[in-house]
């Protein structure tokens, strides 16, 4: 006699069996696709992390070929000029970010919520200015700063960074303010609030993700810049971290392990800030895209 399983194999497939087989096949394909995606992502992450791992290993390795563990490179980096240069870069970034956020938020609020003649033309001009490289007018800036005796002046140099990044900040913040409903500012005005008060008490707190995005991107730009700091901050005590690192690489003989330690020291603040504010950055960059 034939068993029940043999009879099932001989019977024609029913709609229920076809649906079950299709569901199982879809699940297998989904699992396979997910596995392939995960493998690709792991490979990309490994390739991205490999240079960082190499830098970490080399920063703790003796350069004489023995590959022995040592802390000499980190001790030299932390006791040399790099900590002072890091403080200069931090101060420069803080001043530039404060100016960028102050002018960027005010301009963005005006473009997004206030109605005045020529606002769209001014905004279009600002967007066009985003396409102009800062290197095109850096020679003119250098001559102007030289005549005004501002070479080596940290707050004055911070204004250069702020001026080159305010157009991008205004563009990002304008898109964010446009995503806020118009009824909100209308209700605030009806309740008796002035536009400055509505901006300070309502819109500025709501714009925190966009402001964080602008601040983080501005910090990375100022922190890693070399050309402007090299020209406008030539004093040894006022040099930024990028300038000190570039000067150490230009010497005829330099320590690779010490160079790796210094490079890690300059990269750590950017990595930490990005990891802390990554969610706010994603929200700030995608604000206004749904309209």
Angle at CA of residue 93, ends 137 and 157, nearest 5°: 40
Do residues 265 and 251 lie in contact, with contact meaning Cβ atoms separated by under 8 Å?
no
Distances (CA, A) of 6 to 1, 2, 11, 15, 17: 10, 6, 9, 19, 15
Tell me the pTM.
0.78
- What's the distance, Cα to Cα, between the start and end of the chain in Å? 70
**What mean pLDDT is reported for the chain?**
81
| % the chain with pLDDT above 90 | 15
**Span 135-143, average pLDDT:** 86
Convert 173-226 into a string of H (helix), E (strand) and C (coil): HHHHHHCCCHHHHHHHHHCCCCHHHHHHHHHHHHCHHHHHHHHHHHHHHHHHCC
* CA 91 – CA 223 distance, rounded (Å): 10
Residue with tokens 């001014």: 122
Which pLDDT does position 2 carry in this prediction?
Answer: 45
Which pLDDT does position 95 carry in this prediction?
Answer: 95
Does the pLDDT of residue 147 top 70, yes or no?
Answer: yes
Hey, which of 187-196, 210-219, 250-259, 270-279 has the most confident mean pLDDT? 210-219
What confidence tier does 93 reach under pLDDT thresholds 50, 70, 90? very high
Give backbone dihedrals phi and psi of 60, rounded to 5 degrees, phi first: -110, 20
> Which of 265, 220, 281 has the alpha carbon at shortest distance from 92?
220
CA 249 to chain centre: 26
């Amino acid at each position: 006699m034939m068993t029940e399983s043999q009879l099932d194999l001989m019977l024609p497939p029913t709609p229920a069996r076809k649906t079950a087989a299709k569901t199982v096949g879809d699940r297998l394909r989904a699992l396979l696709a997910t596995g392939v995606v995960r493998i690709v992502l792991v490979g990309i992450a490994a390739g991205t992390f490999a240079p960082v791992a190499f830098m970490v290993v080399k920063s703790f390795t003796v350069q004489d070929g023995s590959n022995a563990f040592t802390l000499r490179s980190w001790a030299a980096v932390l006791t040399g000029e790099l900590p002072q240069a890091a403080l200069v870069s931090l101060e420069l970034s803080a001043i530039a970010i404060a100016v960028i956020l102050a002018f960027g938020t005010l301009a963005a609020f005006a473009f997004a919520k206030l109605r005045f003649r020529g606002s769209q033309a001014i905004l279009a001009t600002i967007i066009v200015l985003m396409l102009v490289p800062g290197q095109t007018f850096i020679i003119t800036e250098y001559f102007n700063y030289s005549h005004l005796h501002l070479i080596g002046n940290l707050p004055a140099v911070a204004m250069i960074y702020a001026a080159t990044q305010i157009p991008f900040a205004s563009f990002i913040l304008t898109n964010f303010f446009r995503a806020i409903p118009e009824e909100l500012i209308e209700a605030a005005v009806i309740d008796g609030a002035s536009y400055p008060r509505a901006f300070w008490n309502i819109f500025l707190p709501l714009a925190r993700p966009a402001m964080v995005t602008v601040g983080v991107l501005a910090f990375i730009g100022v922190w890693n810049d070399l050309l402007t700091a090299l020209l406008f901050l030539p004093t040894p005590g006022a040099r930024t971290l990028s300038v000190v690192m570039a000067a150490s690489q230009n010497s005829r003989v330099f320590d690779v392990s010490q160079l790796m330690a210094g490079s890690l020291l300059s990269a750590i603040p950017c990595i930490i800030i990005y990891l802390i504010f990554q969610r706010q950055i994603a929200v700030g960059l995608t604000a206004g895209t749904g309209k």
